[in-house]
Structure 1
Amino acid sequence: MIRKALLALTLFNSPFGLAYEIQQTWLDPKFVERAFIDVALKREYSPGDWALIKWQQPVKIWVDHRVSDIDMHDELTNAHIEHLSRITGHPIQRVKSRDRANVIWLYTQESEWRDDVKREIGSSALKNMHGAICKAGYRLNAKNNSIASAAIIIPVDQAREHGKLLACIVEEIAQVMGLPNDAETAFPSIFNDETPEDLLSPLDIILLKILYEPSLKPGMKEADVRPRLQAIIKRYQQQGILNRAVSDAKSGELYQLIGY
């Protein structure tokens, strides 16, 4: 029953044009390089010379359900974080209590959304709420620029009204893994609002893999990142990782859950 309800919801909310099969941008090393720099080292609301961020400790997620459809939300959440962990090679898991978590994931409702964002992310996040459907934020370790904690707030009624529940689930956790910026140069990608699909594209798979390469350290600026990035992309090209990006994207359980 859960899977049937999920299929109906996501097919209605998530048109899947398979644009990435036509526009194979992830196969172009220069395109991948530019997309990574823009998504990982720039910020939508704060221009400047930003440093790379990523997790160094295991990601431990506590999900707080304040709305109905708990089983469906759990199935979506579990499927996506399992795929993310496999892509990045970084440990990501659910925990059963808030005090064991470093990521608070809240399924809430629109009437409580602003209060939830203020409490979990901070009052400064309220300045950038206009036009947003869901919200995520993170805090950094001051010593090494690694991500110390994060929060994801999804007002389910608002997300479903806009047909973006699945997109919120997929994008917000991917961003707090360390790819925080939306960029026109990344396409097709969940980090680009013009991309019609709501799931991880092949380009997203490559960007996430690159981020968790050991040679890229939190705190690095663009001058240090770029030569390492170029070497990684060249290796990915030689090893066939770029060519396998479509199959890696489709290997996620979310693709099978919604019938893609």
Structure 2
Amino acid sequence: MRNHLGGLLGGIALLTLANCDTALDTPVSPPVQPNQPVLVNAYVEPSAASRDLARYYQRVERDLLTRGLLRTDGGGPDTPFDAEDLARNFEAIAFYSEYPGAAVSGSGSRTSGRLSRWSGSVRVGTEFGPSVSPEQRRSDDTQIEAYAARLAKLTQHPVSTVSRNANFHVFIAGEDDTDYVQSRLRQLFPNIGQAQLNLFDDLPRSFYCFVFASASQGAPNTYTRAVALVRAEHPDLVRLSCIHEEIAQGLGLPNDSPNARPSIFNDDDEFALLTSQDEMLLTILYDPRLKPGMTADDAQPVVRIIARELMGQSL
């Protein structure tokens, strides 16, 4: 269902774009200046093209549900995993990128990276395109606020929603909102390149949502800013699925693995929402025994210990 694109906004970062991965390189930019114009995102009725796209995604969601996919149960007796599975899946998802390098690759090659995550607080700010109704905005705000609180509890790291001074920007915007989103991105990141802006325009229908996170040159494995996009045309479950996956990936779990089950970090669409294993992956990611910049080989012994602790298995 979701395509993923791993990339850079500044320093080293990740970008996930529902079924493809890419790397971008844009300098970290200063925050928006107070004298810049304020953009207005008052509600405007969606166009016929946007409504047609919404009907398409409704059909996609119905088809996935009919096939028993997009599960929301978090996993159960039919999806067992043990500490070795958990440790192996963490390594694949946190340390590897399916599409390394600066361009989209179809080779499926995998290269080992380094552990990347946030060290400072994660302040999630949600922004809506004009085509998003007031009722939908309230619903999305409520969902994201609850999810941020859940992530903070899992990671024991400060993750919260804010109305100003965000450093993790979640845009929920539709086909009609490209100009608004691109203008906001220019405000937020004055040095953003056209290649990055183009990601927010003319996306193929197969691209549901994406996120990119940026790190400074001095600390290339410590994220400082992130931007996610979720299509406004999605029906409720696919929309929430995108919110769950992109924010979680923006915290430092950039890859997908076909062996991860139950997990949203798997392109098979079996699970729509964060699962029991995904919760443990996030807990491992922010365990203080791990440090940004560690290689998979460096982290492996520690990850195995943490995994066994979380699973209640003897060390």
TM-score (norm 2): 0.64
Query: Deviation string for 1:184-211 (max 9, x for gaps)?
Result: 1211111112142311111101101110
- Which amino acid is the alignment partner of residue 216 of structure 2? N
TM-fit CA distance, 1:226: 0.5
2:217 is equivalent to residue 150 of structure 1: no
Higher helix share: 1
Write the deviation string for residues 56-97 of structure 1: whole angstroms up to 9, x where unpaired: 000011211221111111111111111111111111112222
After superposition, the C-alpha distances for 1:88-129 in whole angstroms (9 at most, x for unaligned) are 1111112222xx111111111124459847947865455796
The residue that corresponds to 2:215 in the other structure is 140
Contact 1:40 1:178 in 2 (8 A): yes
Displaced runs of 4 or more, over 6 A: 11-14
> Is the contact between residue 117 and residue 135 of structure 1 (CA under 8 Å) also seen in structure 2?
no
Alpha-carbon separation, structure 1, partners of 2:300 and 2:284: 12
Distance 1:72 1:184, change over 3 A: same
Query: Where does residue 94 of structure 1 map in the other structure?
Result: 161
Q: 2 CA distance for matches of 1:29 and 1:228?
A: 12
2:75 to 17, 20, 38: 20
Alignment-derived partner of residue 25 in structure 2: none
Query: Greater shift after overlay, 175-184 or 130-139?
Result: 130-139
Q: Which residue of 1 aligns with 2:311?
A: 237
Q: Which runs of 5+ in 1 are unaligned?
A: 1-8, 241-260
Please say if residues 55 and 178 of structure 1, whose CA atoms lie closer than 8 Å, have aligned partners that are also in contact.
yes
- Structure 2 equivalent of residue 77 of structure 1: 144
1:206 is aligned to: 280
Matched, 1:108 2:187: no
Deviates more, 1:33-42 or 1:115-124: 115-124
Please report how far the alpha carbon of residue 22 of structure 1 lies from its aligned counterpart in structure 2 after TM superposition.
Answer: 2.4
Is 11-20 or 209-218 further displaced after alignment? 11-20
Identity %: 28
- RMSD, matched Cα: 2.9
CA contact (8 A) 2:74 2:273 kept: no
The match for 1:60 is 123
Q: Bigger shift: 64-73 or 171-180?
A: 64-73
Name 1:174's counterpart in structure 2: 248
CA offset at residue 143 of structure 1? Answer: 2.6
- Normalization by structure 1: what TM-score? 0.77
Count of aligned residue pairs for this structure pair: 226
